[in-house]
């Protein structure tokens, strides 16, 4: 019969205690120090409430571990399972979740109030790439000196920018003034497939 290895130490008072791995999220086997637990088997079938010693014996008989999966429950819920396999599956699931959580950044493209067509197209292509990668894009038109009197030209430029990217983006923050600048923020449409280099 395999009895899972639990590292132990001797405390200053001479008592034997269990060393718990700080990186581990669950208490297992002898680390579970409650009088009784609700036990579930590997398939999720409820085996009922039993004293901790009986639950440990059953786990050892099956050559598995007793893993505390719901310590806040009354009594705590424990599962009879191979902890190594359980931890591996948990780690795999967490990695997949992190991979799915794409970090969204705010990228900025800047225009002058009299931006020519070539420069506009070039910067719009860059913005399209940023949106394709899942980032937000802030477009800004800068004014110097008396140029601020021609805000309508800047507004028209930003509206043109929004229209050019309407197939891949939606307006997150409409055109608004920021000091001597005009800005608009676009967010990628969720249904647009992300362009990502493998």
Percent of the chain topping pLDDT 70: 81
- pLDDT given for residue 100 in this prediction: 62
Strands (E), the chain: 8-10, 16-18, 36-40, 46-51, 65-70, 77-81, 106-112, 136-142, 169-178, 181-188
pTM beyond 0.85: no
| 3 state SS of 12 | coil
| Per-residue pLDDT tens over the stretch 24-38 | 778 888 888 899 999
- pLDDT given for residue 5 in this prediction: 45
Q: Which domains occur in the chain, in start order?
A: 25-86 (3.10.20.80), 106-188 (3.30.110.10)
Query: Which residue has better confidence, 122 or 44?
Result: 122
- pLDDT given for residue 22 in this prediction: 57
- pLDDT given for residue 151 in this prediction: 85
- pLDDT given for residue 103 in this prediction: 65
* pLDDT value at 195 more than 80: no
């Amino acid at each position: 019969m395999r009895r899972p290895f639990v590292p132990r130490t001797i405390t200053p008072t001479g008592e034997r205690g269990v060393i718990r791995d700080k990186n581990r999220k669950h208490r297992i086997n002898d680390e579970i120090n409650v009088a009784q637990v609700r036990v579930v088997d590997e398939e999720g079938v409820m085996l009922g409430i039993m004293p901790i010693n009986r639950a440990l014996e059953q786990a050892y008989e099956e050559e598995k571990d007793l893993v505390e999966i719901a310590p806040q429950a009354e009594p705590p819920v424990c599962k009879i399972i191979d902890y190594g396999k359980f931890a591996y599956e948990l780690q795999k699931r967490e990695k997949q979740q992190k991979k799915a959580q794409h970090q969204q950044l705010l990228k900025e493209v800047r225009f002058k109030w009299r931006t020519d067509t070539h420069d506009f197209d070039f910067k719009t292509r860059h913005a399209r790439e940023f949106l394709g990668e899942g980032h937000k894009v802030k477009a800004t038109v800068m004014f110097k000196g008396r140029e601020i009197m021609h805000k309508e030209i800047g507004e028209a430029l930003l509206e043109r920018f929004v229209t050019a990217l309407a197939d891949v983006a939606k307006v997150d923050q409409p055109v608004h003034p920021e000091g001597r600048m005009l800005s608009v923020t676009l967010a990628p449409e969720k249904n647009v497939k992300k362009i990502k280099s493998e």
